[in-house]
Amino acid sequence: MSDAPSYGFDTLQIHAGARPDPATGARQTPIYQTTAYVFRDADHAAALFNLQEVGYIYSRLTNPTVAVLQERIATLEGGVGAVCCSSGHAAQIMALFPLMAPGRNVVVSTRLYGGTVTQMSQTIKRFGWSAKFVDFDDLDALEAAIDDDTRAVFCESVANPGGYITDLDAVSAVADKAGLPLIVDNTSATPYLCRPIEHGATLVVHSTTKYLTGNGTVTGGCIVDSGKFDWAASGKFPSLSEPEPAYHGLKFAETFGPLAFTFHGIAVGLRDLGMTMNPQGAHYTLMGIETLSLRMERHVANAVKVSKWLEQDERVDFVTYAGLESSPYYERVSRICPKGAGGLFTFALKGGYEACVKFVNALEIFSHVANLGDTRSLVIHSASTTHRQLTAEQQEAAGAGPNMVRISIGIEDADDLIADLDQALAKASA
């Protein structure tokens, strides 16, 4: 699809990156279940290993099935390239890997998935990195947190679990002023609802496990490169701007230009970290993306109807869905997520922690799982599960207090979902 940028989203989600298989004519992307690829000759092999020619060497680095998925997600996000990997958490580490070094820090939003909070506050310390947590609604605090050792700014477009919408335009302005890349986790929104690169993001990460795949079958992650950041401008990113010893002094920024981060992610990130996506997983995700817009439209429509019903229920204290006019983030929906606020949000039960536990146990259609973005409606009590490892203060800052229940609205009949919520609320408040 040489003219891919001129096509609409619904066409690109089916066709971008894919071509009939030249050997067989197969129309669906084949699963290239192979570890290695035969070189034409010794010179061809040397050129591939020297990054002088693009091609396939070994499936830890590149695979034809995964390559189609990378091109498709990059196209949908408006990026120049992408690197797929084994999970969303792997994508976050791989996004930071070329940017950070011992003693460097990343400034991150307080409104993040609990596992990401732990990754940023605990795990990255093992690399000698650190994270500063800031409420990104306070732009002055965000700007003040950035220092000479900061190498990136990180947030979620639609934050898990509360469904809060980040003002990406304002945050990217702060990052730009500091000469830093903005990394946006777009998992909850998907490129159908939000395209962070259009709002100033440098890199976009996904847990493809969630809405992109949409069927709860495989884990995966992806980093999309906007191609718009000058990695050589400040001298702060030597991995991308300075000679790489492993490739005979090649400079990624100089050699690959807008694709510097993408090539580094494959040639160094996947080579050394090994967080590889398997081709069968990529195939499942490609099939899921083919119906992404249709699913997201239903997710949003159901979330609006269910959240409005919950907001009026006397057993519910409040609902965080940004698509409600009562939400302080409602104004941002039209700017940041013009096609809707997604299908993820939380609500507070008046009975507190114990009522939440009873409520979750009483649901019948909603599945009690540690996941989101499925076609099925899902529920979890974040304080006792996904955010359990956090302090009480961190839980509150992330929107996962003890009285909060997170629901990921699926594509079932909305009236059936409301009926299920009604009977579970009755049992929780009895």
Per-residue pLDDT 10s for the chain (430 aa) are 444 458 999 999 999 999 998 889 999 999 999 999 999 999 999 999 999 999 999 999 999 999 999 999 999 999 999 999 999 999 999 999 999 999 999 999 999 998 899 999 999 999 999 999 999 999 999 999 999 999 999 999 999 988 999 999 999 999 999 999 999 999 999 999 999 999 999 999 999 999 999 999 999 999 999 999 999 999 999 999 999 999 999 999 999 999 999 999 999 999 999 999 999 999 999 999 999 999 999 999 999 999 999 999 999 999 999 999 999 999 999 999 999 999 999 999 998 888 999 999 999 999 999 999 999 999 998 777 766 677 777 777 767 778 899 999 999 999 999 999 999 999 998 8
pLDDT on residue 4: 45
Identical fold between 8-99+181-288 and 292-428: no
For residue 189, the number of C-alpha atoms closer than 13 Å in the C-beta half-sphere is 32
Place of tokens 């040489």: 2
Q: What is the pLDDT of residue 369?
A: 93
**Is the Cβ–Cβ distance between 206 and 277 less than 8 Å?**
no
Give bridge partners of residue 392 from the DSSP assignment: none
pLDDT of res. 3: 46
Tell the CATH topology of 8-99+181-288: Aspartate Aminotransferase; domain 2 (3.40.640)
Instruction: CATH number for 292-428: choose from 3.10.129.10, 3.40.1010.10, 3.40.50.720, 3.90.1150.10.
Output: 3.90.1150.10
| Token output for 199 | 């709002």
Look at residues 169, 145, 173, 168 and name the one whose alpha carbon lies nearest to residue 156. 168
Phi, psi of 64 (to 5 degrees): -60, -35
Find where tokens 């477009």 sit: 157
Domain residue limits, the chain: 8-99+181-288, 292-428
Place of tokens 């807008």: 258
Q: What is the pLDDT of residue 236?
A: 98
Q: Look at residues 18, 43, 13 and name the one whose alpha carbon lies nearest to residue 29.
A: 18
Model pLDDT, residue 394: 78
> What is the Cα–Cα distance from 71 to 79, expressed in whole angstroms?
9
How far is CA 116 from its chain centroid?
Answer: 11
Q: In angstroms, rounded to a whole number, what is the distance separating the alpha carbons of residues 136 and 17?
A: 35
| H-assigned helices in 195-291 | 238-241, 252-256, 260-264, 271-273, 279-289
Instruction: Tokens for 239, please give them.
Output: 């991995």
Exposed / middle / buried, residue 128 (Cβ in 10 Å: 0-12, 13-18, 19+): exposed
Q: What are phi and psi of 36, to 5 degrees?
A: -140, 170
* Strand 344-349 versus strand 316-319 pairing type: antiparallel
Distance CA 357, CA 378 (A): 15
